[in-house]
């Protein structure tokens, strides 16, 4: 077992583990991260064991019902046999039911052994699936944490640059405003109009100059 597996196994030691493939929350995990081929295989094997376990338990219940019915039929038949002085036909019916009861007992014993084996197999496979799930989730968490850290640093840098650029923008706007005001005061509006400068200081709009030969087109 790899070192990581040992770490996860120690974390799970003594914990009550649900059958993962029957737990909707486990399935929801894989809406957040990818299910690996190893996990898919373990899940398929676990589902097959759980299905077999359910089938054996259902058969066991049915066999017990049949056995109970057979036992209930034997007592009246024995009473009839005693009253009839040991009727051969009744004795045969008793023997048939006794044979069927013994067959039920054999099947019940066989099912009990198989259920014990299945219980261990299901636990072991479920345990493996839990370890693999933890590994995948940890790797996703680790990768996301690295990505978040990188993006957080990038956002912080962008915020710093944004603040610097906002300051530069404000300084440029103030410079435009002051230049326009001084030029307007020194040269007067008639001279300013010669340069065809379009500037509205109340709208914080940069000074624009027209493209050659077309007053409707301007460049910033």
Q: Where are the domains of the chain?
A: 3-9+17-162, 169-219
Entry pTM: 0.66
* More confident site: 114 or 74: 114
Work out the average pLDDT over 40-58.
97
Structure confidence at residue 160 (pLDDT)? 93
The distance of Cα 174 from the centroid of its chain, to the nearest Å, equals 54
Compute the average pLDDT of residues 81-107.
85
Mean predicted confidence (pLDDT) in 189-208 = 60
What is each CA distance from 61 to 13, 54, 102, 106, 109, in whole angstroms? 33, 11, 16, 14, 13
Q: Please tell me the predicted confidence (pLDDT) of residue 89.
A: 82
From residue 102, alpha-carbon distances to 70, 71, 77, 98, 152 in Å are 11, 11, 17, 6, 73
End-to-end alpha carbon distance in the chain: 67
**Cβ pair 45, 107 in contact under 8 A:** no
The answer, yes or no, to whether residue 44 has pLDDT greater than 60, is yes
Q: Among 23, 207, 14, which residue's Cα sits nearest to residue 133?
A: 23
Residue percentage of the chain with pLDDT more than 70: 79
The helix or strand, by DSSP H or E, that contains position 209, with its residue range, turns out to be strand 209-211
- Across the range 28-51, mean pLDDT stands at 94
pLDDT confidence bin for 85, thresholds 50/70/90: low
Long-range CB pairs of 209-212, under 8 A, 24+ apart, other chains included: none
- What's the mean pLDDT in 182-192? 77
pLDDT of amino acid 208: 47
How would residue 197 be classed by pLDDT, with cut points 50, 70 and 90? low
Residue entry with tokens 């990505």: 147
Over residues 34-43, mean pLDDT = 94
pLDDT reading at 43 higher than 90: yes
User: What is d(CA 75, CA 62) in angstroms, rounded to the nearest whole number?
Assistant: 21
Mean pLDDT in residue range 103-108: 96
């Amino acid at each position: 077992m790899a070192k990581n597996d040992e770490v996860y196994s120690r974390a799970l030691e003594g914990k009550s583990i649900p059958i993962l493939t029957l737990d909707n929350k486990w399935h929801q995990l894989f809406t957040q991260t990818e299910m690996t081929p190893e996990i898919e295989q373990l899940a398929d094997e676990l589902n097959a064991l759980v299905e077999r376990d359910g089938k054996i338990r259902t058969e066991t219940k049915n066999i017990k019902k049949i056995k109970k019915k057979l036992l209930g039929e034997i007592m009246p038949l024995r009473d009839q046999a005693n009253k009839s002085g040991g009727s051969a036909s009744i004795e045969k019916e008793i023997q048939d039911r006794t044979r069927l009861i013994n067959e039920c007992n054999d099947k019940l014993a066989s099912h009990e052994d198989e259920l014990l084996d299945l219980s261990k197999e299901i636990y072991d496979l479920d345990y493996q699936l839990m370890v693999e799930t933890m590994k995948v989730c940890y790797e996703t968490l680790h990768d996301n944490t690295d990505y978040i850290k990188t993006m957080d640093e990038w956002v912080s840098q962008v915020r710093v640059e944004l603040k610097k650029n906002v300051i530069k923008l404000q300084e440029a706007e103030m410079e435009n405003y002051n230049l326009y005001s001084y030029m307007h005061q020194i040269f007067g509006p008639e001279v300013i109009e010669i340069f065809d400068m379009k500037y509205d200081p109340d709208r914080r709009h940069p000074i624009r100059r027209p493209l050659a030969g077309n007053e409707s087109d301007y460049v910033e």
